Chain A
Amino acid sequence: MNQDCIQTWVIEAIQTVAPEIEANTINPDAELREECDIDSMDFLNFLSALKTSSGVSIPEADYSKVNTLNKMLQYLREKNE
C-alpha cells in the first residue's frame, strides 16, 4: 500500500462531502474538520466513504488520532502495514 494511494483515498473521501476541496489547499497539520468546514454529520459521511475505499473503519475513540490530514495519513499507513 503506497502513500500516494492512501492520500488519494483521503482526498477523494473528503471531496464526497466537500467537493471544492483540493489536496494542495489543505494545511496538513491543521484541524481537518475546520480546514475543510466539515460538520459532525459530514464527518460521518467522510468516514463511510473512506471505509469503502480503504477498508479501514475508524472508531469514534480514535477520532483524536485522525484530526489532521497528516495524522489521518499516518493512522491509515499504520493500519495498512
Chain B
Amino acid sequence: MGANMIDVTMPSLGADMTEGTLIEWLVTIGDQVKKGDVIAVLETDKGAIDMETYQAGKVSEILVQPVTKVPVGTVLARLDSDSLQFQSNQRQQHKTLPTLQAEPAETKKNIAKKSHKETLIDNAFSEQVSAKKEIPVASPAQPTIDTAIDSNSNSNIKASPLVRKMVKNSQLNLSTIKGSGPDGAVLLNDVLNGAVNDSNEVVDESENIKKTPIKNKTSHLNSSAMRTAISLAMEKSKREIPHYYLSLDIDVSKTQQWLHAENINREPDQRQLLLAVLLKAVASTLIKFPLLNGYYLNHQFQTSKGVHIGNAISLRNGGLVVPAIHHVEKLSKNNIMDALRDIVNRSRRGRLRSSELTDASITVTNMGNRGSDTVFGVIYPPQVAIIGFGRPRQVPQVKDNTVIVSDMMTISLSADHRVSDGGVGANFLHSLSQKLQMPESL
C-alpha cells in the first residue's frame, strides 16, 4: 500500500501564494476519485477555489481538518493509487516540489523570508498575478458553504465558515456587519473592507463610524499582502524575462459586422462578444506559433500541448483574477463564449477551480471600452507571452482612394526574448490579423 500512496498537498496557485486555508472536504475516506475531481474547497489569495486532484485513487487518509490555514505544500490527505503511471509527470513534479519546503502548520510564515519565497517561485508550475480576496465566498452557487452554520451565534445570517471564524477571532458580531452578498450574506470582503477602509485615507469618515475596523492580521490580507503578491510575480517577470513588445492596428470591421449579424436574432444570454471571436482567432493562430505558447522552467522552454488562455478578469472592488480556458483551440466560438461567461461569472460571483489558476499557457488582457487604445502586458512567469487587446475604435481609413470608416483595434504582444524573436511575434500578429478578416471561417 505504501508504494502507491500519493500525497495531496496544498497547491501553489501562483508565486504569490504561500499559504491557503482548507475550508471543506468534499470527499471522505474510502471515496474513489479521478483526475480533475473537485475534492476540497480552499480559501486563498485568489478567493475561494475548488481544489481538484491531479491523480486518481482512493482517499485513504485525511490529515488536515477544516478550517485550517496551512503553508503551500502541506500534505492534506493521501490517495491510494492503483497505478503510478501518472498522466503528467511534469505537472506532478511541480505540484509536489513545494512539499520539501513545507513548514509545520503552526509555524507562521515570515513574509520577508526571501529564500523560501524564491524557492516557491521557482517551483511554481505557473504563476498568476492577482491576489485579492474579492470572490464572494457565499453565493447561491455555493450551497455547501452558504448553508454552513456556526453554532456559536447568528445562525440565521449567511456567511461562510471562514468569515465566521474571522469575525469570531476579531471579536466582532456578525449581525453588525452589513452583508453585500446574495440575501445579505456576509462576504469576506465585508469583513475585510472594514480593515481596508480604516487604513484608507480617502475614505468617508461616516463610513468608518459605521464599520468596526479590524486591527489584526486580517487587515494585511487585502492591502499589503496583495501588493506583495503582485510585486513578487511582476518583479520576477521584469527581473528575469527579457520582454520584447510589438503592436499592430488590426481592422476588425469584418469581425464586428459578422458579430452583429450573428447576434441579431439572439437573446442576450446567447449573444457573442468580440472577445470570444478574438480568443478563437488567437488560439487557431497560436497553433502555428508554438514558441509563444508554453512555459519557461528551469532554463528550458516547453511548448504547451494545448492552448490554455488565461483571461485577466477585473473584479468589482479592485484586483483581478486570471483563470484559464483550457484547449481553446478545440472549442467553437459559441463554446468559447459559454466558457467566458462561465469564468467571468464564477470569478465575480462564484468559485474558480484550481486548474484554472495554474494551467494557463498564455494570457490575454482586454481593455474593453476603457480608456486605453493599447495595452502592453507584463508576462506571467513561467508563461512566455501575453496578448493585449486595446479599445476598439472607429477610424478613417483610405482604401482605393476613398476614405472609409473602419473598426480598428490595436493588438499587442509582449513576448519572452529568450524563447522567440521579434520576427516570430510580428508574423504572429500578421496571421492573427488575417484570421480576423475571415471571422466566418474561424
Contact with B along A18-46 (1 / 0, CB 8 A): 11100000000000010001011110110
**A58 to B268, Cβ gap below 8 A?**
yes
Nearest Cβ on chain A to B179's Cβ, whole angstroms: 10
Select from chain B the residue with minimum beta-carbon distance to A31: B369
Docked complex: A26-70 residues within 8 A CB-CB of B: 33, 37, 39-42, 44-45, 47-48, 51, 57-61
B271 CB-CB contact with A under 8 Å: yes
**B271 to A45, Cβ gap below 8 A?**
no
Q: How far is the CA of A51 from the CA of B260 in the complex (A)?
A: 20
**B267 to A51, Cβ gap below 8 A?**
yes
Contacts of B180 in A (CB 8 A): 19-20
B273 CB-CB contact with A under 8 Å: yes
B419 CB-CB contact with A under 8 Å: no
Contacts of A40 in B (CB 8 A): 273-275, 368-369
Given contacts A20-B180, A44-B273, A48-B269, contact A37 B345 (CB under 8 A): no
Select from chain A the residue with minimum beta-carbon distance to B276: A41
B264 in complex: contacting residue of A37, A39, A41, A61, CB < 8 Å: A61
Number of A-B residue pairs with CB-CB distance less than 8 Å in the complex they form: 48
Given contacts A44-B269, A51-B268, A57-B267, contact A18 B369 (CB under 8 A): no
**A57 to B268, Cβ gap below 8 A?**
yes
Given contacts A41-B340, A41-B341, contact A60 B269 (CB under 8 A): no
B263 CB-CB contact with A under 8 Å: yes
Question: Which of A20, A33, A44, A48 is packed against the most chain B CB atoms within 10 Å?
Answer: A44
**B340 to A60, Cβ gap below 8 A?**
no
Nearest Cβ on chain A to B304's Cβ, whole angstroms: 26
Contacts of A61 in B (CB 8 A): 260, 264
Docked complex: B331-356 residues within 8 A CB-CB of A: 340-341, 344-345, 348
B316 CB-CB contact with A under 8 Å: yes
Nearest Cβ on chain B to A61's Cβ, whole angstroms: 7
10 nearest A-B pairs in the assembled complex, by CB-CB distance = A47-B268, A48-B269, A48-B268, A41-B344, A60-B263, A44-B268, A39-B368, A40-B273, A19-B180, A57-B267
B residues with a Cβ closer than 8 A to A are 180-181, 260, 263-264, 267-269, 271, 273-275, 314, 316, 340-341, 344-345, 348, 368-369
* Cβ contacts A to B, 23 pairs, < 8 Å: A17-B348, A18-B316, A20-B180, A20-B316, A33-B369, A39-B368, A39-B369, A40-B273, A40-B369, A41-B273, A41-B275, A41-B344, A44-B269, A45-B269, A45-B345, A47-B268, A48-B268, A51-B268, A57-B267, A57-B268, A58-B268, A60-B263, A60-B271
